[in-house]
């Protein structure tokens, strides 16, 4: 039988762990031997008020079950204070789960600056601040695991969530860059787009669907990615209800034109089918996966760009 993945001696910070997904992660990490920092500001779904009760309750649950945990009530925007709590209680940090989040859903027309700013502050700046505070420790100890939390809304866009979707996609590229910079120091970063029953989703789904979307069904991937034996880094996963899938960028084969004064919008239009044809795609994963030097070399040998008469404006080819 495969061995249980254990986290004995590891310290994990879980932000927003007073409820929903964060609570599920905190409980299961603790049950597998980790020291857990249960961070939660105790705010409403929209980020209002604050209380220590949510974090305290989860810490009590962990301790009652024989685990090790400490509460922290700071906002993720004060990430250094959360890391300080971990160091004071356990002397180290090995894993950061950036999970805290709020919603300010509104159509873009009605969205205010504060709806925008607060969402960026909690999700993007908060993930940055906690990670930044742990980063130097990770580099020094040549070990670190980071999970950031995106959302399907960030990947695909979603009505009423311009602020939230922008913040959530930012966390995908944040993760990919951390993975590249952390690789040499055994620091791995991955990002998840979960779907789970919580106060964020309880009003938009029927009870029987929510039942099969327990946060407990998101934890297994998070634990797997954070284990010392796991090599995966820089990846995005969509998951929930037992479903787990990896996502990647897909780029059409594209079209190439001569880079000369005849490269006009009409030439783009003439090649539109090629530009948007996904029958022979590539899957770039780094800036260097686009070889502009050889593309340019190739373009030099091409015949002049197509100038279709279909693309005339004011008597000129456009
Ligand atoms: P939740 O509302 O149950 O939990 C979020 C927790 O974060 C709350 O306990 C809240 O007090 C805490 N929090 C909020 N702002 C904070 C701050 N500034 N500092 C510290 N703690 C703070 O929500 P849920 O569903 O568990 O969400 C967890 C994460 O997963 C969020 O980032 C959310 O955007 C993301 N997510 C959830 C989905 C779902 O289906 N539940 C879908 C996609 C993404």
- The pLDDT value recorded for residue 84 is 98
What's the CATH number for 11-247? 3.40.50.720
| 109 CA → ligand 1 middle, Å | 25
Those residues with Cβ within 8 angstroms of residue 222's Cβ, 6 or more apart along the chain or in another chain: 25, 97, 147, 192
Beta carbon of 239 within 6 Å of any ligand 1 atom? no
- Each domain of the chain, given as residue ranges in start order, spans 11-247, 265-317
| 237 CA → ligand 1 middle, Å | 17
Those residues with Cβ within 8 angstroms of residue 282's Cβ, 6 or more apart along the chain or in another chain: 250, 251, 253, 289
- The pLDDT value recorded for residue 202 is 87
Strands (E) located in the chain:
11-14, 35-39, 68-72, 95-98, 144-149, 187-194, 236-240, 243-247, 312-313, 316-317
- The pLDDT value recorded for residue 309 is 61
**pLDDT band at 111, cuts 50/70/90?**
very high
User: Is residue 36 a contact partner of residue 106, using CB atoms and an 8 Å limit?
Assistant: no
**pLDDT band at 296, cuts 50/70/90?**
confident
**Mean pLDDT in the chain?**
95
Answer whether residue 44 shows pLDDT above 70: yes
Beta carbon of 197 within 6 Å of any ligand 1 atom? no
Q: Given the CA of residue 77, which atom of ligand 1 is nearest to it?
A: 18
Beta carbon of 151 within 6 Å of any ligand 1 atom? yes
How many residues make up the chain in this entry?
A: 318
User: Any bridge partners for residue 239, and if so which?
Assistant: 194, 244
User: Is residue 71 a contact partner of residue 52, using CB atoms and an 8 Å limit?
Assistant: yes
Rounded to 10 degrees, the C-alpha dihedral 78/81/82/83 comes to: 120
User: Is residue 148 a contact partner of residue 179, using CB atoms and an 8 Å limit?
Assistant: no
Answer whether residue 22 shows pLDDT above 70: yes
Mean pLDDT for 36-57 is 97
Least confident of 19-33, 180-194, 304-318: 304-318
Q: Rounded to an integer, what distance in angstroms lies between the CA atom of residue 159 and that of residue 300?
A: 44
Answer whether residue 40 shows pLDDT above 60: yes
**pLDDT band at 286, cuts 50/70/90?**
very high
- The pLDDT value recorded for residue 1 is 57
Q: How far is CA 155 from CA 104, 132, 161, in A?
A: 18, 24, 12
Mean pLDDT for 166-174 is 98
ipTM for the assembly: 0.99
Our answer to whether residue 164 is catalytic in this structure is: yes
**pLDDT band at 301, cuts 50/70/90?**
confident
- The pLDDT value recorded for residue 19 is 97
For a mutational test of ligand 1's pocket, the pick from 13, 18, 20, i.e. the residue with the most ligand atoms closer than 8 A to its C-beta, is 20
- The pLDDT value recorded for residue 314 is 74
Mean pLDDT for 160-173 is 98
Answer whether residue 297 shows pLDDT above 60: yes
Q: Specify the pTM.
A: 0.96
- The pLDDT value recorded for residue 308 is 62
Burial 71-106, CB ≥16 within 10 A → b, else e: bbbbbbebbebbbebbeebbeebbbbbbbbbbbbbb
Beta carbon of 154 within 6 Å of any ligand 1 atom? no
Answer whether residue 288 shows pLDDT above 70: yes
- The pLDDT value recorded for residue 307 is 67
- The pLDDT value recorded for residue 108 is 98
What DSSP designation does 251 have?
B
Beta carbon of 11 within 6 Å of any ligand 1 atom? no
- The pLDDT value recorded for residue 185 is 98
By alpha-carbon position, which residue is closest to atom 1 of ligand 1?
Answer: 20
By alpha-carbon position, which residue is closest to atom 40 of ligand 1?
Answer: 195
- The pLDDT value recorded for residue 203 is 85
Q: Which residue has the tokens 């600056």?
A: 113
Answer whether residue 228 shows pLDDT above 60: yes
Q: Which of 164, 217, 224, 283 is flagged as catalytic? A: 164
Beta carbon of 201 within 6 Å of any ligand 1 atom? yes
Answer whether residue 53 shows pLDDT above 80: yes
| 147 CA → ligand 1 middle, Å | 14
Percent of the chain past pLDDT 90, that is, above it, reads 83
Strands 35-39 and 68-72: parallel
């Amino acid at each position: 039988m495969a061995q249980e993945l254990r986290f004995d001696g590891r310290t994990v910070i879980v932000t927003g762990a007073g409820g929903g997904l964060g609570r599920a992660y905190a409980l299961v990490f603790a049950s597998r031997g980790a020291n857990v920092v249960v961070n939660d500001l105790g705010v409403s779904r929209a980020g209002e008020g604050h209380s220590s009760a949510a974090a305290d309750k989860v810490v009590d649950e962990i301790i009652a079950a024989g685990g090790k945990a400490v509460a922290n009530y700071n906002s993720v925007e004060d990430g250094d204070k959360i890391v300080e709590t971990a160091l004071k209680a356990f002397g180290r940090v090995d894993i950061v789960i950036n999970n805290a989040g709020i919603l300010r859903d509104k159509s873009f027309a009605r969205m205010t600056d504060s709806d925008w700013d607060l969402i960026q502050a909690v999700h993007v700046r908060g993930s940055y601040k906690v990670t930044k505070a742990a980063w130097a420790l990770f580099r020094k100890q040549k070990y670190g695991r980071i999970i950031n939390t995106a959302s399907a809304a960030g990947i695909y866009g979603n009505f009423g969530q311009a602020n939230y979707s922008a913040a959530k996609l930012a966390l995908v590229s944040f993760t990919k860059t951390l993975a590249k910079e952390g690789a040499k120091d055994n620091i791995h970063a991955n990002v998840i787009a979960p779907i789970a029953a919580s106060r964020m989703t309880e009003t938009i789904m029927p009870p029987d669907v929510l039942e099969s979307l327990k946060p407990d069904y998101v934890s297994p991937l998070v634990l797997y990615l954070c284990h010392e034996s796991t090599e995966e880094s820089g990846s995005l996963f969509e998951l929930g209800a037992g479903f787990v899938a990896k996502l990647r960028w897909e780029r059409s084969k594209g079209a190439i034109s001569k880079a000369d004064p005849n490269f006009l919008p009409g030439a783009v239009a003439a090649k539109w089918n090629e530009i948007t044809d996904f029958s022979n795609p590539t899957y770039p994963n780094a800036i260097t996966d686009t070889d502009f030097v050889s593309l340019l070399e190739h373009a030099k040998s091409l015949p002049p760009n197509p100038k279709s008469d279909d693309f005339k404006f004011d008597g000129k080819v456009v």
